[in-house]
C-alpha cells in the first residue's frame, strides 16, 4: 500500500513531468522547422501517443488502475498549443481505447465510458471559457486537478486490479501537484535559457554562421569611426552569382561555402595587413573590410590576390567544381572623399557595382574627382 502511494504521489508524476519536458523541447524544435502543418501535427500526434502509452502501461501495471492520462492533454494545450490543443482532451480517451485494444484487453466494450468522460470534461472546459466566470489560469488549474482526481474513478469502470480508495485519491491529489510543479519549474528553466540565448544573439557582435563581425557591429563601428574622424580604407566584397551556387549545391552546402570563405579570408587578411582592420558580414553573401589608414593601393593589390585565390580554390562541398566561387570587390579610402567615411563607403559600393558590370571576379575603384 505504501509503495503504491509513493508511486502515485512521486514516482509516476516525476516520470511524466520529465516526459513532458522532453516534449516541450521537441515541440519547440518542430515548430521551427519549415515543414507543412499536417506533418507537424502528425509528428506531435505520434509523440503524444508515445507519452500516453507510457502513462497507461506504467499506471496499469504498477498501481493497478489508469491515472494521469489527461495530464498530457491539459499541460500541452496550456503551455504548448493554446486553445487548439484542447482537442487532445477528446483524443485522449480514444487513444486509451486503442491502447486497451492493442494490449489485448478482453472487454473493450466497457471502454465507451472513457469517451463519455472526455466529452464531459471538454464541454465543461468549453462552457467555462465562454461564461468567463474565472480567469483562464484559474480555469486551467481547476480543470487539471478535477480531471486528475476524477479520471481514475471512471477508468475503474473499464479496468482495475486494485481499488481507487481515499488513500489512492489523496496520493493522486499530491501527485498532480508534484507533476505540475516539476514541469512548470523545468519549463521556466528551459524558457529562461532560450531567452538568454536569444538575448545573447541579439547583443552579440559576431555573425553566428561565419564568425565575422555582424551588420549591427558594422554600423556601430562605422559611426564611431565617423565621430572620431578616423582615416579608413573600405573594401566592399560580394560573392558572385551566389544564389545560383545555393540553387546548385543546396542551402546547407551554401552555408558551408560562406563559412569556409569567411575563414579563409580571415586567414588571408591576417597575413596581408599589419594595420588594425575589421571584417564584417554585411548581409547574405556580402562582406565589408574596414582598414584603419589610407592603404588603398595595397588593399586593391591584396583583394586582387584574394580574387585569384578564391576562384582557383576547392571548397569542402560534394561535387564542387573549381571556379564556381568567385568574388567582386570595390575599394575606396576616406582621404579621397576629404575624410568623409560615409562617402567612401558609397564610392566603394559603386566600385563594387562597376566590378560586377565589368564581368565579376575582379577589383575596381572609381576615378578620383
Question: What are the tens digits of pLDDT across the range 247-283?
Answer: 888 888 889 999 999 999 999 999 999 999 999 998 8
Q: What is the biggest distance separating any 2 CA atoms in the chain, rounded to whole angstroms?
A: 95
Calpha distance 92→98 (Å, rounded)? 10
Calpha distance 254→246 (Å, rounded)? 5
**CB within 8 A of 56, min separation 6: which ones?**
66, 69, 96, 99
pTM greater than 0.85 (yes/no):
no
Say what the pLDDT of residue 201 is.
Answer: 63
Question: What are the tens digits of pLDDT across the range 72-104?
Answer: 889 888 887 777 778 888 888 888 888 888 877
CB 334 within 8 A of CB 314: no
Mean pLDDT of 225-246: 92
**Is residue 34 scored above 70 in pLDDT?**
no
Can you point out the beta strands (E) in the chain? 232-239, 277-283, 286-292, 327-333, 363-364
DSSP 34: -
Strand partners, 206: 213
CB 68 within 8 A of CB 149: no
**What values do phi and psi take at 232, rounded to 5?**
-135, 160
**Count of residues for the chain?**
369
Q: Which three cell numbers stand for residue 52?
A: 500516453
**Is residue 30 scored above 70 in pLDDT?**
no
- Helix 113-131 and helix 136-155, axial crossing angle in degrees, nearest 10: 170
Say what the pLDDT of residue 276 is.
Answer: 94
Say what the pLDDT of residue 185 is.
Answer: 92
Calpha distance 235→359 (Å, rounded)? 18
SS3 65: strand
Q: Which three cell numbers stand for residue 235?
A: 573594401
Say what the pLDDT of residue 163 is.
Answer: 85
Nearest to 44 by CA among 67, 22, 27: 27
> How do beta strands 286-292 and 232-239 pair?
antiparallel
Mean pLDDT of all residues belonging to the chain: 87
Calpha distance 108→297 (Å, rounded)? 86
Mean pLDDT of 98-111: 76
Q: What is the pLDDT confidence band of residue 140, given thresholds at 50, 70 and 90? A: very high
Amino acid at each position: 500500500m505504501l509503495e503504491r502511494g509513493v508511486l502515485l504521489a512521486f514516482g509516476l508524476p516525476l516520470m511524466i513531468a520529465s516526459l513532458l519536458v522532453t516534449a516541450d523541447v521537441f515541440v519547440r524544435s518542430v515548430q521551427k522547422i519549415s515543414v507543412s502543418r499536417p506533418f507537424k501535427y502528425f509528428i506531435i500526434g505520434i509523440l503524444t501517443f508515445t507519452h500516453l502509452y507510457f502513462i497507461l502501461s506504467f499506471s496499469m501495471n504498477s498501481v493497478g488502475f489508469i491515472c494521469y492520462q489527461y495530464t498530457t492533454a491539459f499541460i500541452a494545450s496550456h503551455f504548448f498549443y493554446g486553445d487548439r490543443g484542447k482537442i487532445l482532451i477528446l483524443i485522449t480517451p480514444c487513444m486509451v481505447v486503442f491502447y486497451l485494444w492493442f494490449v489485448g484487453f478482453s472487454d473493450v466494450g466497457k471502454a465507451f465510458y472513457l469517451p463519455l468522460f472526455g466529452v464531459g470534461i471538454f464541454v465543461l472546459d468549453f462552457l467555462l471559457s465562454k461564461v468567463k466566470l474565472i480567469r483562464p489560469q484559474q480555469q486551467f488549474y481547476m480543470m487539471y486537478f478535477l480531471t486528475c482526481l476524477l479520471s481514475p474513478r471512471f477508468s475503474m469502470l473499464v479496468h482495475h486490479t486494485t481499488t481507487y480508495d481515499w488513500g489512492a485519491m489523496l496520493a493522486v491529489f499530491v501527485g498532480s501537484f508534484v507533476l505540475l510543479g516539476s514541469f512548470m519549474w523545468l519549463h521556466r528553466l528551459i524558457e529562461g535559457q532560450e531567452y538568454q540565448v536569444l538575448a545573447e544573439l541579439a547583443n552579440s557582435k559576431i555573425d553566428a554562421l561565419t564568425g565575422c563581425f555582424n551588420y549591427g557591429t558594422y554600423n556601430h563601428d562605422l559611426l564611431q569611426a565617423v565621430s572620431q574622424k578616423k582615416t579608413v580604407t573600405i573594401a566592399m566584397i560580394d560573392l558572385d552569382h551566389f544564389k545560383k551556387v545555393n540553387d546548385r549545391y543546396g542551402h546547407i552546402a551554401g552555408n558551408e561555402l560562406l563559412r569556409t570563405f569567411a575563414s579563409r579570408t580571415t586567414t588571408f587578411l591576417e597575413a596581408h595587413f599589419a594595420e588594425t582592420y575589421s571584417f564584417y558580414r554585411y548581409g547574405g553573401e556580402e562582406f565589408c573590410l574596414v582598414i584603419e589608414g589610407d592603404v588603398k593601393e595595397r588593399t586593391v593589390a591584396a583583394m586582387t590576390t584574394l580574387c585569384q585565390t578564391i576562384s582557383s580554390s576547392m571548397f569542402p562541398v560534394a561535387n564542387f567544381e573549381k571556379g564556381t566561387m568567385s568574388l567582386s570587390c570595390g575599394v575606396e579610402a576616406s582621404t579621397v572623399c576629404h575624410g568623409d567615411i560615409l562617402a567612401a563607403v558609397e564610392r566603394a559600393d559603386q566600385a563594387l557595382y562597376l566590378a560586377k558590370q565589368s564581368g565579376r571576379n575582379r577589383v575596381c575603384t572609381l576615378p578620383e574627382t
